[in-house]
Amino acid sequence: MSFDESHGSPKRPSMRTPLGRVRNLGAAHAGTSDFWRQRITGVAMTLLMIPALVIIMMLLGRNQVYAAQTLSSIPVAVILLLFIFASVWHMKIGMQVVIEDYVHNEKLKLTAIMLNNFFSVAVALASTYAILKLSSGV
Amino acid sequence: MLGRNKHQKPPMTARIERPLSPHIQTYRWTLTMALSIVHRATGIALYVGTLLLVWWLVAAASGPAAYAHVQAFSSSIIGRLIVFGYTWALMHHMLSGIRHFVWDLGYGFKANEREALTWGALIGGIALTVLIWIIAYANGGGR
C-alpha cells in the first residue's frame, strides 16, 4: 500500500506532506504565472536598459524646457512607458516574494502585500500620468 | 466513556519520514549565498528608489520650479551618492538577474561555472557603474 505512487519509490520518500498534497499550490495560493512574468519583465528591462540610459544621458544638466521637450517625443515617451511598466510589474512581484518569505503573521503579510500593490500602482500611475501630460503638451 | 471520544486524535495522522535539512547557519558562507542576499537587497533598494524616478518625471511635467528642486538634489553631494548607489544597484541587479536567466535555461550549475557567473555579475556591476558615470560626466553631467 502506498500513499503516493506518483512521487518517488518506497525507498525514496516523497518531500511532499499529506497536507501539501491536499492544499496544492503552497503559501502563495497560485501557480507559476508570477515566476514567468518576473522573467518576461526582467528580459524586457534588460533590452530597454541601453535606450533608457541614453535618454537619461541626453537630459543630464539640461533645464526643464529641454527635458519636457525631449520627454514628449514619441520614441522617448514609449521607451520610458515600457520601461516603467516592466519595472513596476517586476518590483511588485519581487517585493511580494520577499514579503511571503519573511512575514509569517498572516494578517501582517496580507497588509504588506496590499501596501506593496498600492505603492507599485501609485508609482506606475504617477510616472505614466507625468509622461502623458508632457506628451500632450498641456 | 462516550464523552471522551471527541477529544481523541483522528487515526490518520501517521508521520511520514521525509528528509530534513539544517538551517542556514550550519553551512560555510559562500560567494553565491552572499550574492543571493545582495540580489534581494539591491532589488529592495531599487524598489524604494523608484520614488526618485517618479519625482523626476512629475517635476518635469510640473514646471521649471519643481524641476529645479530635483536638479538641486541631484547635483548635491548626497544626491550624487544616492544616484551613484542607485546606478550600481541597477547594474548589479541586472547582471545578477542575467545570471539567473542562464540558470533558468539549465546552464552554469557546475561549481566553477556558478562561481564565474557570480564574480562576473559582481565585477561587471561595478565596472558598468563606473563606465556610466564616466560617460555621464563626459556628457555634461557635472554641469
Q: Give the start-to-end residue ranges of the domains of chain B.
A: 30-141
The alpha carbon of A122 is separated from its chain's Cα centroid by a whole number of angstroms, namely 13
Rounded to two decimals, the ipTM of the complex is 0.81
* Residues whose CB is less than 8 angstroms from the CB of residue B63 and which lie 6 or more positions away in sequence, other chains included: A64
Give pLDDT tens digits for A87-134: 999 999 999 999 999 999 999 999 999 999 999 999 999 999 999 999
> Could you tell me the pTM of the whole model?
0.81
Orientation of helix A33-59 relative to helix A74-102, angle to 10°: 130
Chain A residues whose C-beta sits inside 8 Å of any chain B C-beta: 3, 13-15, 17-18, 39, 42-43, 45-46, 49, 53, 57, 60-61, 63-65, 67-68, 71, 80, 84, 87-88, 91, 94-95, 98, 123, 126-127, 129-131, 133-134
Helices (H), A64-105: 64-71, 74-102
Longest alpha-carbon distance in chain A: 77
Does the pLDDT value for residue B4 go beyond 90?
no
Contact status of B30 with chain A (Cβ, < 8 Å):
no
Q: What is the mean pLDDT of residues A13-25?
A: 68
Q: Give the residue from chain B lying closest to A95, CA to CA.
A: B44
Domain B30-141 sits in CATH 3.40.1160.10: no
Predicted local distance difference test score (pLDDT) of residue A138: 67
Closest chain B residue by Cα to residue A125: B54
> Mind telling me how many Å the CA of A104 is from chain B's nearest CA?
17
